[in-house]
Amino acid sequence: MPQPLPSSVLFCCDHNAARSPMAEGIMKKFYGTGTYVQSAGVKNDLEIDGFSIAVCQELGVELSRHRSRSFDEMEDWGDDLGSFDLVVALSPASQRRALDLTRYYSLEVEYWPILDPTGLGETRDAKLASYRDARDQIVARLVERWGPAREGAQ
């Protein structure tokens, strides 16, 4: 049974270049602006992945303006992790970092084991298929947690 939407969610993964930006963009598209949604990575050493942009465009989700950022940059820019209701980690490394950073806060950290599509596939079509798999896993987890996309959400 779907749960009520939180007022704020942070999605995180290793580099904030593929999975977490996809989750951020899809959640905004599906559920509108009533929930504050951000994403971050353990590291910020990569730009947004072009394959992530392509597979999200198939759902009408625009990611090309996304700028990758790390947990440390979030804090430097004034985003307090304690202000989020929920942190959703999409990789084991981001789960460890989120749990470490939030041990003094009263907030929930969930782990969603989403496929890391980077480096998978030899051809463009095979790579796109891997990214679609990751995107579809994110969509399935969102719908399982908060129900189907809201009509007219974005």
Dihedrals phi, psi of 108, to nearest 5 degrees = -90, 135
Q: The whole model's pTM is what?
A: 0.91
The single residue listed with the structure tokens 């465009």 is 57
- Ordered domains of the chain (ranges, CATH): 8-146 (3.40.50.2300)
User: Average pLDDT of the chain?
Assistant: 90
Q: In what order do the strands lie in the sheet with 108-111?
A: 36-41, 8-13, 86-89, 108-111
How much of the chain, in percent, has pLDDT values that exceed 70?
97
- Residue 9: per-residue pLDDT: 96
Total residues belonging to the chain: 154
- Residue 154: per-residue pLDDT: 58
